Amino acid sequence: MPYARFVCRYLGLGTLALLLGGCTATHYVHNDQSAIEQRVSPRDTVTFERLDPQPYTPADWPQMLNAQVLLPHTQGLERRPAALIVHGGGWRNRGPNDMQGIAEQLAEQGYVTINIEYRFAPEYQFPAQLYDLEQAMNWLHAHAAEWRIDTDRVVGVGYSSGAHLVSLLAVAGAEGPLAAPYGGEHTRLAAVVAGGLPSDLLKFDDGPLVVDFIGGTRAEKTEAYTLASPARQLIPQAPPFFLFHGKWDRLVPVDHATDFYRALQAQGTPSELYLQPWRGHLASFIFRGSAMKAAIAFLNRQVENTVRL
């Protein structure tokens, strides 16, 4: 849909959130105060090369899907971390260009970035989109030597439905019923940044976005709603999570983030929650600057703590 209509439909709180969103403080939740004091500063920025969009799906895939790749100009032959980046849009629209700014920020920090398309509902329904991400991870691993990627240091970054997909990949892509036939060890992530995350699809009313994505209502497709909910597929081996969310979000209420954060904390998964007051769903993405700065610092700590190959 045209961008102006997208803003009006998904912002929810209208012009007030846009006016206030850029000049307000954020509320930061952390389980370890010492970690805040020891926060890793972002690295010195580096330049990067932008490759032409190229297909990452196999030739026989139902739809050809492209990835935008940024290769940082880092020194030496050491393998670099990488980021799988997934856009939002209610599982039904938008594209990688929405995430271009985030991809560039990460490339400047030395991450090889893979910013992908995925199939849209209602033509393609769950778990098709997760399978697309699993194929993207397979493609990333296939290019690891060429692009000097350390496959133990691949992170996932997404917003809204993109946050849902990377979070589901992180907790269910490597093992369990959603790992077959395209998932497995190659889908493991070292950390996740999830903004505006719909963590539990059973919390939603039977609105068109989720119904079209799943292919039925909660009563009709209860098992699919459960499988498609990162909060209900959470495993002890989940990677560290950085969550950011607008406290005025009406499209994806803030309890999706706070409840998921509590679940991560309860099982001892390293996690941080960055709440943005006076911001709705779209405003928290538009005015994400301070949240992304904290998110990148979080990712840098996680990949520095991961053994290099």
The one-letter amino acid at 241:
F
* Mean pLDDT value across residues 17-29: 41
Write out pLDDT tens, residues 115-145. 999 999 999 999 999 999 999 999 999 999 9
Lowest mean pLDDT, pick from 9-13, 148-152, 244-248: 9-13
- Please tell me the predicted confidence (pLDDT) of residue 45: 81
Secondary structure letter of residue 217 according to DSSP: -
Q: Is the pLDDT of residue 43 over 70?
A: no
* Mean pLDDT value across residues 28-55: 65
> Under CATH, domain 3-304 is a member of which superfamily?
Alpha/Beta hydrolase fold, catalytic domain (3.40.50.1820)
- The CB-based long-range contact list for 62-67 (8 Å cut-off, 24+ gap) reads 62/119, 62/124, 62/128, 63/119, 63/124, 65/116, 65/117, 65/118, 65/119, 65/132, 65/135, 65/136, 66/96, 66/116, 66/117, 67/96, 67/114, 67/115, 67/116, 67/117, 67/136, 67/139
* Mean pLDDT value across residues 56-72: 98
169, two tokens: 């990949």
Write out pLDDT tens, residues 249-275. 999 999 999 999 999 999 999 999 999
Phi, psi of 18 (to 5 degrees): -65, -40
- Please tell me the predicted confidence (pLDDT) of residue 29: 63
Q: What is the helix (H) or strand (E) element at residue 241, kind and residue range?
A: strand 241-246
Secondary structure letter of residue 76 according to DSSP: S
Residue 152 · residue 307 · CB < 8 Å: yes
Q: Kind of pairing, strands 27-30 and 271-276?
A: antiparallel
295, two tokens: 């998110």
What band does 37 get if pLDDT is binned at 50, 70 and 90? very low
Write out pLDDT tens, residues 211-239. 999 999 999 999 999 999 999 999 999 99
What band does 76 get if pLDDT is binned at 50, 70 and 90? confident
Q: Is the pLDDT of residue 20 over 90?
A: no
CA distances from 171 to 20, 88, 203, 237 (A): 35, 19, 19, 8
Q: Is the pLDDT of residue 40 over 50?
A: no
What band does 158 get if pLDDT is binned at 50, 70 and 90? very high
Question: What is the value of pTM for the model shown?
Answer: 0.88
- With a CB cutoff of 8 Å and minimum separation 6, the contacts of 163 are 86, 88, 193, 194, 195, 196, 197, 198
Domain ranges of the chain: 3-304
66, two tokens: 């492209």
